[in-house]
Structure 1
Amino acid sequence: MLIFLLYFFIAIVFIQIFYYLGIFGKFAFAKPQNITPKKLPVSVIVCAKNEEENVKKYIPLLAEQNYPDFEIVLIDDASSDETLEVFEEFEKKYPNIRLVKVQNNEAFWGNKKYALTLGIKASKKDYLLFTDADCYPTSTEWITAMSSQFTMNKTIVLGYGGYEKINRSLLNKVIRFETVLTATQYFSWAKTGLPYMGVGRNLAYKKEEFFNVNGFIEHIQVRSGDDDLFVNQAANKINTTIAYTPESFTYSKPKETYKEWFSQKRRHVSTANYYKPFDKIQLGLFYTSQLLFFLLAIVLLSFQFQWIVVLALLATRYTITWTVTGFSAGKLKENDLKIWFPIVEMILIFTQINIFITNIFSKPVHWK
């Protein structure tokens, strides 16, 4: 029995090495990216529901972008606070702001995709750049950096949406590590020619891509997924690229309690059930192999069975994964996470198992 577990453990280690070196290494070890400014017409689209305080702070940062041809489409999704009033003041102040007021629709009540569809249809530019109401760009060159990756063929650009750093917070390190790992995954698979998701905090695509797949209609019944499900449906090896220069990043405030973050991740994870079969398989295999790696290592070491071999495999796996993760974190300017890798990875793995089990028995709460 133990010899079987050892062979199984060896197989799991090789699966992990394949993911980290064969797939994730394509982003981790990629050359620095250049920005070649383009003068493409861009509509920055922000959908907000009850985000009064956030839009007061962050919309001016978007309006101050150093870019020659852009508009900002502000979508108020039937807010019950003062979001609409704040938007109306911005519309008066900035000539390139376009306001879309969404009323509750009986068929699509509370559905962010319905609100986004109205905003996209109201936009006047050919290229769309999305961010959330609680996000802000790292520089005035954000639009330039994201739009610079568009070409004649590359009409979908996946960006990085990070979270602010909170000192002396282990939860914050876990949240940011999970964000880095997720970005490493979708950046790397995009570079292999198999893009499967993006994040709405920082995502761009040509408007025609939206209409080519009839918008969100195929997954309109799914409350989340205006970003990852759209990319999963529309992206391919020909039309998709990535942006990872520091100027292209956006940031937002992370959750400050485990309960809030857990609820957020439940919503994110639930949309993966609607991914294409290959994407569900590759994600499932990766996360399953992560869990089995720890469980099998614990069992084999507890019985001291071939412990030298087990320790050698542990050292090999950690050397490779730590190196790849470190290079990825460096590219995404999350360098402090490097030394915390073993701890935050273990916390994240068992949190993901908890999320999976919880989602089986209850549905997560979506758009406010």
Structure 2
Amino acid sequence: MDLPQITLNWWLIAFIAFCLVTLIQLIYYWGIFSRLAFFKPKPKEQSQQHPVSVVICARDEAANLARNLPGVLFQQYPSTHELVVVNHNSQDDTRYLLEEFRKTFKGLEIVNLEHEAKGIPGKKYPLSMGIREANHEILLLTDADCVPASEHWLYKMQDAYQPGIEVVLGYGAYQKRPGLLNKLIRFETYHTALQYFSYALAGMPYMGVGRNLSYKRQLFLENKGFSSINHLPGGDDDLFIHKIARKDNTAVVIDPEAFTLSEAKKTFGDWMRQKERHYSTGKYYSGKFKFLLGMYSGSQFLFYPLFVLSLIFFSWKLALAVFGLRFITQGIISYKCMQRLREKDLWPWWWLLDIWMFLYYCIFAPALWRKPRQNWI
């Protein structure tokens, strides 16, 4: 066999690989992500108002608490509820700020912790203490740097509890601000939510985000809290949900009034450190989800290199035809999902942001193997 024939065979193999990667992407988009795109909540015959304990952990968060706590305290929820704020060894004015809030809001409970838990990095220890001090069965968790998107956040999240439901997943969005970094952060956040919401709607819940998450206190106690992951800096949201969430006990709330909003990082370096911490927990997922999530990420990563090779060295007509199938599919699903999660302003840029994901994987993939920092959050 001469050299040109061998070369042709290699480019044919590259094109076949491109077609296979595209097929995998289409299966994910139409088989899984379409669950979020075309999700229609079942109509409810009646609403309900359960007693709820909102739990927030804070460490040197005086500025964030001053800005965001009123949004939690002024929720329109006439039924029994409380706000438990755990002040974990703060060195700023957090303690005094909380005391001032409590003078006005009698439903605010303060838990002051003045020591570290040896061998338990991250915020699992203060969060555990807050949950143990909570008086109600339904726990609604958020962070000190988050504010509810509406005064109906508490009501919307707890209303998802039907018979058998023990876990409720919400959306923790970021505030819309000018600049490229803000768009990148919001797109990555949307992309993560696209996956965990869609998997949950497909009957395969695997994670949630601590910025907007709810589960039952008894479920926490039955699973001995975070004891199985206490040695890890993170995991109080995604790994714990990975352990307790099932097809029949998990619900999602995709209502703009039930979102929470946070300020995105202002520098790329800060964002990198945040994401490295989050992705360091991925290695502890079950084999099933490592495969499913890895297959999607791997096919997304390979899509553009294989497209370029097929476009230049094989047949540009065939390559564009295959590319077009994914492009149209992704455009439709992305539009519907971004509209549902109120990120529609990102849609005109979705194709550029999708190309960005190739670089994103190159930057953050090493976090899966790197030892995570032992910081608080």
TM range (shorter): over 0.9
**Matching residue's letter, 2:84:** V
- Secondary structure of 2:111's aligned partner: strand
Which moves more between the two structures, 177-186 or 230-239? 177-186
Q: Distance in 1 between matches of 2:41 and 2:259?
A: 14
The 1:121–1:61 alpha-carbon spacing in structure 2 relative to 1, beyond 3 Å, is: same
Q: Matched residue pairs, number?
A: 366
The 1:108–1:59 alpha-carbon spacing in structure 2 relative to 1, beyond 3 Å, is: farther
Q: Distance in 2 between matches of 1:186 and 1:209?
A: 20
| Structure 2 alignment gaps of length 5 or more | 1-9
Instruction: Please name the residue that 1:185 is paired with.
Output: 195
Instruction: Please name the residue that 1:341 is paired with.
Output: 350
Q: What TM-score do the two structures reach when normalised by structure 1?
A: 0.96
**Matching residue's letter, 2:269:** K
Q: CA contact under 8 A between 1:267 and 1:364: conserved in structure 2?
A: yes
Q: CA contact under 8 A between 1:137 and 1:250: conserved in structure 2?
A: yes
Q: CA contact under 8 A between 1:37 and 1:145: conserved in structure 2?
A: no
1:316 corresponds to 2:325:
yes
1:206 corresponds to 2:222:
no
Q: Distance in 2 between matches of 1:206 and 1:220?
A: 20
Q: Which aligned pairs between 1:75-154 and structure 2 lie closer than 5 A?
A: 75-108=86-119, 110-154=121-165
Deviations 1:177-223 (A, max 9, x none): 11111111111111111100000000011111111211101111111
Q: Which aligned pairs between 1:38-53 and structure 2 lie closer than 5 A?
A: 38-53=48-63
1:155 corresponds to 2:172:
no
Q: CA deviation at 1:125?
A: 0.6
- Secondary structure of 1:149's aligned partner: coil
Q: Distance in 2 between matches of 1:229 and 1:247?
A: 26
Instruction: Please name the residue that 1:279 is paired with.
Output: 289
Q: Distance in 1 between matches of 2:257 and 2:360?
A: 32
Q: CA contact under 8 A between 1:46 and 1:132: conserved in structure 2?
A: yes
Q: CA deviation at 1:361?
A: 4.9
**Matching residue's letter, 1:3:** L
Q: Distance in 2 between matches of 1:145 and 1:319?
A: 34
The 1:164–1:93 alpha-carbon spacing in structure 2 relative to 1, beyond 3 Å, is: same
Instruction: Please name the residue that 1:18 is paired with.
Output: 27
The 1:48–1:22 alpha-carbon spacing in structure 2 relative to 1, beyond 3 Å, is: same
Q: Please give the root-mean-square deviation of Cα atoms over the aligned residues, in Å.
A: 1.5
Q: CA deviation at 1:103?
A: 2.2
- Secondary structure of 2:112's aligned partner: strand
The 1:364–1:287 alpha-carbon spacing in structure 2 relative to 1, beyond 3 Å, is: farther
Q: CA contact under 8 A between 2:170 and 2:212: conserved in structure 1?
A: yes
**Matching residue's letter, 1:154:** I
Q: How much identity, in percent, do the aligned residues show?
A: 37
Q: Distance in 1 between matches of 2:271 and 2:327?
A: 27
**Matching residue's letter, 1:265:** K
Instruction: Please name the residue that 2:372 is paired with.
Output: 363
Q: Distance in 2 between matches of 1:314 and 1:189?
A: 25
Q: What TM-score do the two structures reach when normalised by structure 2?
A: 0.94
- Secondary structure of 1:45's aligned partner: strand
Q: Distance in 2 between matches of 1:153 and 1:359?
A: 34
- Secondary structure of 1:98's aligned partner: strand
> Which has the higher Rg, Structure 1 or Structure 2?
2
**Matching residue's letter, 1:160:** Y
1:58 corresponds to 2:37:
no
Instruction: Please name the residue that 2:82 is paired with.
Output: 71
Which moves more between the two structures, 260-269 or 105-114? 105-114
1:247 corresponds to 2:282:
no
- Secondary structure of 1:199's aligned partner: coil
Q: Distance in 2 between matches of 1:126 and 1:106?
A: 25
Instruction: Please name the residue that 1:299 is paired with.
Output: 309
Q: Distance in 2 between matches of 1:71 and 1:361?
A: 39
The 1:338–1:113 alpha-carbon spacing in structure 2 relative to 1, beyond 3 Å, is: same
Q: Distance in 2 between matches of 1:164 and 1:29?
A: 25
Q: Distance in 2 between matches of 1:13 and 1:302?
A: 17
Q: CA deviation at 1:306?
A: 1.8
Q: CA deviation at 1:366?
A: 3.3
- Secondary structure of 1:177's aligned partner: helix
The 1:71–1:210 alpha-carbon spacing in structure 2 relative to 1, beyond 3 Å, is: same
Instruction: Please name the residue that 2:4 is paired with.
Output: none
Instruction: Please name the residue that 2:7 is paired with.
Output: none
Q: CA contact under 8 A between 2:117 and 2:125: conserved in structure 1?
A: no
Deviations 1:280-313 (A, max 9, x none): 111111111001101111122222x122111001
Q: CA deviation at 1:323?
A: 1.1
Instruction: Please name the residue that 2:361 is paired with.
Output: 352
